[in-house]
Amino acid sequence: MDLWPSASKPRWVKTRTNRPPPVMLVIGTFPEEDGRGTGSAKQEFADVRWMEITSVLQRESANGTKPVKQIEFAGERLDLASVRRWRERVIAAKPD
C-alpha cells in the first residue's frame, strides 16, 4: 500500500474534510512496459483504484486539530462492482 504525501498541505486537508462525504481519491497506474507515445496517442491505465478519504483525513487530523503529512492509500479497484457498492452506501446513508 502506498503512502500518499499530497495531503501535506493543511488547506487541502481542511477543504476535503469540510465537503459532504464521500470525497474519493482516484489513482491510476500505467503498465511498466506501457509503450506510451507522445502527442495524440491514447494513454490507458493498467489499474485504477479509489478510496474514500474524508473519514481518513478527519481521523488523522483529529477533526482538523493537527496537520496531516501523509495518508496510507488502501484503495479498491475502480470497477462496476465497486461503484455499485458505493452507490448503495450513499443511498443508504441519505436521510429520508
Q: What's the pLDDT at 2? A: 44
CA distance 66 to 8: 11
Mean pLDDT of 46-52: 93
Q: Compare 65 and 36 and report the one with higher pLDDT.
A: 65
Q: Which element (helix H / strand E) includes 73?
A: strand 71-73
Question: Does residue 43 lie within any of the structural domains?
Answer: no
The answer to whether position 18 is within a domain reads: no
pTM of the model: 0.64
Assigned domain for 73 exists: yes
Count of structural domains within the chain: 1
Q: How far is CA 87 from CA 11, 34, 83, 84, in A?
A: 28, 32, 6, 5
Residue 41 is predicted with a pLDDT of: 64
Diameter over CA atoms, the chain: 50
Q: Range of 67's domain?
A: 54-96
Which of the four pLDDT bands, split at 50, 70 and 90, describes residue 43? confident
